[in-house]
Amino acid sequence: MRSKTTILIAIVMALALSLALVEPALAQDSNKFGQNISDLLYGIARPLLPAIAGVMCIAALIRRDFGMTMLLLVIVLAAGLFVWAPGELNTFVKNAAQDIVPGGTEK
Using alpha carbons, list the distances in angstroms from residue 22 to 11, 39, 49. Answer: 16, 12, 21
Residue 106 falls in which region: left (phi positive, over 0), alpha (psi -120 to 50) or beta: beta
89: exposed, middle or buried (Cβ count in 10 Å: 0-12, 13-18, 19+)? middle
Per-residue confidence of the chain (107 residues) as pLDDT tens digits?
568 788 888 888 877 776 666 665 555 566 676 777 777 777 777 788 888 888 888 888 888 888 888 888 888 888 877 777 777 877 887 888 888 877 655 55
For residue 68, the model assigns a pLDDT of: 85
